[in-house]
Structure 1
Amino acid sequence: MPPTELHNAQRQSTTFMYLYALAVSGGAVAYMPFLTILLPLRVTVLAPDTILATLAVAAFAGAFSASISNIAFGWASDVTRQRRGWILAGLIFSTALLLVMPYVAGSSLLIVMIVLWQFALNMMLAPLAAWAGDCIPDAQKGMLGGLLALAPALGALAGAIVTLDFFAVFPQRELLVACLVILMVGPVLLFGRPLPMPCLMERKGNEAGTSETVEPQAHPVARMWLARLLVQIAEASLFAFLLLWFRSLDPQFGENDAAGIFALVLGMAVFLSLAVGYWSDRENRPILPLIWSAGAAAVGLLMMALADGLLFAILGYVAFGIASSIFLALHSSQTLRVLPRPQRRGRDLGIFNLTNTVPSLIMPWLTLLLVPKYGFDALFLLLAALAIIACLLLLTMPRGRQAGLRA
């Protein structure tokens, strides 16, 4: 059988892929409602006079803990050659720590608990991310990326659920979040039986029984890492300050209006990511959608910079939001294609995870430097430039068999 036909014949079961996508979405549910809603509410009660300072310290310490622990537990799951056990342990410990949060008595202790919780949460998230690389072949990575777009959408939906009036009087909404996470992550641990894919554990450059080695520059890992970082900086900047910008254009713009736009963007991104991912698998063009979506994100940001009215501003954000969501979802799956050492896949994905945590450390200072003096337009122009650079990095990336990419 020719190598191409062999590659296409090695397909993972869709049942496992659906269970895996549900588990990844459970990971998003584990942190999005807590960090964006429940934690600020706890801080308001514990430290009403220092809310912003406490949240800033908690965010910084949590991001640092997440960065280190994601690399550490990814590496640990590589060394032990065991993903499922680490995922289960992380699920148990992070759930236990989350349930303790309502009983924390002081802001300093709360920050310590956030650090420990992030540590335990990444014990689950790091090996979960690497597991896909072990058992989902390149021919299905576009579909995987589309399914991964469900994670932020379901994370946002969970946040909406815990804020419903029905649960507003419930003193321990962390319990609701914990139950959702268990119900979403548990099925893949109990029923996930992926077909073995030994070919995915072969080092890049040794396909088809060859013994050639791959030169470091042949792998586009650095370009993929930097491109994601640039788009993540843009996405993180807008997530934090979008409502303020909309209100600068129209003071009547409310929180419900912003929530509706977020829901529209996330919902459309799921369906479009699935469609684009399916197309990239069928045409064997894994990187082209990333180039398109990075370029479209830049166009959306330019529209926002030029907007002088609310309607054009909303259209610009919708274009950016959908394009960046597609980029981040498909990038997560296609990154697995280019990592050169499967035996260190978890560790390497932990390094890629820095692109998710570093922007939260960069974004506040970037915004405070530009917006007060030059306005939001300058911020959007800078973010558009970052998205254009990401597009060019991918457009000029090495192609070919050694890089694991189609020219």
Structure 2
Amino acid sequence: MTAGVAPAARGRSALDEPVLPVGRKWTATWSFAYLGLFLANYGAQQIVLPRQANLIAAGEETAVAAQSWANASAAVVTVIVSILVGALSDRTLHRTGRRQVWIVYGGLLAAVAFVFQGFQHTVVGVVIAWGVFTAGMSAVVVALSAALPDDVPTSQRGRVSGYLAVGTAVGPLIGVAVVTFLLTGVLDAYVGLALLLLLCVLPFGLRVRGTPLRRAERPPLALRAIATGIFTPLRSADFAWVCGQRALINLSNALAQVFLYQYLKDEVHVDPDLGTLLLMVCYTAGIVVIAVPVGRHSDRTGKRKRVVVWSSAAQGAAALILAFVPTFPAAIAGASLLGFGYGAYLSVDQAVVTQVLPHAEDRGKDLGILQLSSALPMIVAAAVGGVLVASLGGFPALFVASAATGLAAAVCVLPIRSVA
């Protein structure tokens, strides 16, 4: 058996549930791919895109508008590509498996879009390039998500999800550090991020083989069927509850973070640049410390819902600390607790969502739908949070809303029957 082949890939159908565990190479390259995606996306979105917008725009308002248009285009692209690529990858006939080709070409598209974006000097060019990058990234994310239920048995998904949590936590820190201290221009930053993206994503796409889909197993390719299939999985109560729970816990996390910079500046009265960096380190450390042990524990016990409940409670407690104790030591405690809570949640998230998929032949499409419950709350949080801070009670209202959505997420997980 070669290290690059999923052990369950030989002698079984692509639609069968995997039973043999994957090795370290599968887990490492899969997690590393996520690290590269988050490294590139966060480094660009938080630092390079604003830097580029400020160079292009005539003033601060125009720069903010340019970023808003870019992020709005990304939201639309994410919705379309996540579902479409998920459905198409379910029907892909390739000797290396259904997902690998989408990972490779999605990664290449994202990297090329970054290089193209580095040469843009107009708002329109930036918006188009950012949309193309988002299309490539969304394709990779959906394909990677579907590779988990394709190849990893249920009893191993908590541990694998734990390593994913580490990658998605460390990636943003590395990305922001690279474009802040090493690649301080626009073109060099985009090119550097593109190369790092490929370095992280391509090993899984090129060196790990999935289970090929047999032609007789291939679902019919009809756009009408794909369109109507968007709503079909929501008829499953467990799938619908997971969609709601996932959206709420991600909204809770996003609301707690979206205006931290302004919170430190206006409410805590500390240096917001240094303060945000320190809180980001504490938050990341919390995720890294907790994710893998909790994931392993959930694999041993088979109990995942209780992890979601406790992680939601931890996020809620962290948000309440920020709401009612506006001091920097309290902010450090809140950020650390938020990291512990979200890290615990991430350690079982992929395991939970893959246990409620209604049909094996639609794994990619259904995970594309579930991906929206992670991506869209990040966008909604900025709009909702802005209204809360400006008009409905300031920062305490923002963090109380974060705690409330976390509690609602815990409630949503309780009715799920197919997950213990």
- The counterpart of 2:30, out of the listed 20, 27, 32, is 20
Task: Kindly indicate whether the alpha-carbon contact (under 8 Å) linking 1:141 and 1:281 is maintained by their aligned counterparts in 2.
Answer: yes
Quote the residue 2:276 is aligned against.
258
1:178 and 2:184 matched? no
Correspondences of 1:3-402 after superposition (within 5 Å): 10-49=20-59, 50-81=62-93, 82-168=98-184, 171-193=187-209, 219-373=237-391, 374-394=393-413, 396-399=414-417
Q: Percent of pairs identical after alignment?
A: 23
Task: Kindly indicate whether the alpha-carbon contact (under 8 Å) linking 2:18 and 2:149 is maintained by their aligned counterparts in 1.
Answer: no
TM-score by length of 1: 0.86
Q: How far apart in 1 are the matches of 2:186 and 2:408?
A: 47
Task: Kindly indicate whether the alpha-carbon contact (under 8 Å) linking 2:47 and 2:176 is maintained by their aligned counterparts in 1.
Answer: no
Q: How far apart in 1 are the matches of 2:20 and 2:397?
A: 49
Q: Which amino acid aligns with 2:406?
A: A
Q: How far apart in 2 are the matches of 1:62 and 1:333?
A: 27
Task: Report deviation, 1:268.
Answer: 2.6
TM-score by length of 2: 0.84
> Per-residue CA shift, 1:140-185, capped at 9, x if unaligned?
1110110111232232233233234443258421111111111111
> Residue 216 and residue 94 in structure 1: after superposition, are their counterparts in 2 closer, same or farther (change >3 A)?
closer
Give the unaligned 5+ runs of structure 2: 1-16, 218-232
Task: Kindly indicate whether the alpha-carbon contact (under 8 Å) linking 2:46 and 2:176 is maintained by their aligned counterparts in 1.
Answer: no
Task: Report deviation, 1:358.
Answer: 1.9
Q: Which amino acid aligns with 1:96?
A: V
> Per-residue CA shift, 1:272-314, capped at 9, x if unaligned?
1100000000111122211110111112112222214332233
Q: How far apart in 1 are the matches of 2:161 and 2:54?
A: 37
Q: CA RMSD in A?
A: 2.5
Q: How far apart in 1 are the matches of 2:385 and 2:205?
A: 41
> Residue 44 and residue 333 in structure 1: after superposition, are their counterparts in 2 closer, same or farther (change >3 A)?
farther
> Per-residue CA shift, 1:43-87, capped at 9, x if unaligned?
111113201111111111111111211111111100125211111
Task: Report deviation, 1:238.
Answer: 2.8
Task: Report deviation, 1:217.
Answer: 7.0
Q: How far apart in 2 are the matches of 1:111 and 1:9?
A: 44
Task: Report deviation, 1:343.
Answer: 0.8
Q: Which amino acid aligns with 1:236?
A: A
Task: Kindly indicate whether the alpha-carbon contact (under 8 Å) linking 2:156 and 2:299 is maintained by their aligned counterparts in 1.
Answer: yes
Q: Which amino acid aligns with 1:225?
A: C
Q: How far apart in 1 are the matches of 2:210 and 2:24?
A: 9
Task: Kindly indicate whether the alpha-carbon contact (under 8 Å) linking 2:285 and 2:339 is maintained by their aligned counterparts in 1.
Answer: no
Task: Report deviation, 1:223.
Answer: 1.2
Task: Report deviation, 1:262.
Answer: 0.8
Give the unaligned 5+ runs of structure 1: 1-6, 202-214
Which SS does the other structure have where 1:398 is aligned?
coil
> Per-residue CA shift, 1:238-267, capped at 9, x if unaligned?
332012112233323331222122112212
Task: Kindly indicate whether the alpha-carbon contact (under 8 Å) linking 2:90 and 2:365 is maintained by their aligned counterparts in 1.
Answer: yes
Q: Which amino acid aligns with 2:285?
A: G
Query: Which portions of structure 1, spanning 4 or more consecutive aligned residues, are displaced by more than 6 angstroms?
Result: 195-198, 215-218
Task: Report deviation, 1:26.
Answer: 1.8
Q: How far apart in 1 are the matches of 2:143 and 2:344?
A: 23
Q: Which amino acid aligns with 2:23?
A: S
